[in-house]
Amino acid sequence: MSETVSGDLCPARAGPVRSPQSLVAGLTLVALAALSLWLISDLDQGTLQSMGPALLPRWLAIAVGLCGLVLVGTSFTTDGDFLERWSLRGPVFVIGSILAFALTIRGYSFGAFALPGLGLLVAGPLGIILGGYATPEARLRELVILALSLTPFCMVLFGDLLNLPIPVFPQALTSLFPADWSQKAVLRACAALMTAGAIVIFLATRNRHPGPVDVADHSGRI
């Protein structure tokens, strides 16, 4: 599905904007920076000696906003590209993967509707596979192998090495392991199983010829 946003069908520039693509990109960055600053407004920034949770995201948002302002300024002074045709596929799958990850990793409830917390073990592969379909070149085999490789890496990095309080697996899964196993032992076992699954899928399907990939966005461009 695609939409024509503007004008590469009309080569003549109208008005003071000399680079519509830079203008839209700059405004998007400024909007993202403003949204980020608003979302973290309740967090403590701290100091350089005692950094708070808002220090890095706040200054990162300010840097992104400044870059956006530079782009907006140059869009009036420097000739640039017009907006091109674009597809909704990428934004839909990327935003959908982020929402799916956010709703499933800790669980979500809204009235009678409730999702159990599934942890990184399920939310990770789900987000990776959904996000991978943002491109028409995506293949399920490669996405599954990628998901089963990246997720255990993140599990060990955040849950084991950095000891971050990230939910790693569904609570129901812990009953499947011996009662005397620690949480980190269960984490490592799950990570090992997922890595082994990625290797098995890779070896079992490496000789299969992939089907043709539709790289056209059906908007007249390849």
Q: Compute the average pLDDT of residues 187-202.
A: 91
Task: Give the pLDDT confidence of 44-60 residue by residue, as tens digits.
Answer: 887 777 777 788 889 99
**Statement: the pTM of the whole predicted model exceeds 0.85:** no
Residue 3, classed as helix, strand or coil, is: strand
**Which residue do the tokens 């990230």 mark?**
166
Q: CB under 8 Å to 184, separation ≥6 — which residues?
A: 159, 160
Instruction: Report the distance separating Cα 102 and Cα 98, nearest Å.
Output: 6
Task: Give the pLDDT confidence of 11-55 residue by residue, as tens digits.
Answer: 555 578 888 889 999 999 999 999 989 988 888 887 777 777 788
- Identify the pLDDT of residue 52: 76
Instruction: Decide: 195 and 149 in contact? Cβ < 8 Å.
Output: yes
| Percent of the chain that is helix, strand, coil (3-state, to 5) | 55, 5, 40
Cβ burial of 22 (10 Å; 0-12, 13-18, 19+) is buried
Q: CB under 8 Å to 119, separation ≥6 — which residues?
A: 105, 167, 168, 169, 170, 173
Instruction: Report the distance separating Cα 197 and Cα 191, nearest Å.
Output: 10
Q: Compute the average pLDDT of residues 107-132.
A: 85
Task: Give the pLDDT confidence of 74-110 residue by residue, as tens digits.
Answer: 999 988 888 777 778 888 999 999 999 988 888 777 7
Task: Give the pLDDT confidence of 162-186 residue by residue, as tens digits.
Answer: 777 778 878 677 677 777 778 788 8
Q: Compute the average pLDDT of residues 135-141.
A: 89
- What sign for the dihedral angle of Cα 21, 27, 30, 31? negative
Instruction: Report the distance separating Cα 16 and Cα 5, nearest Å.
Output: 19
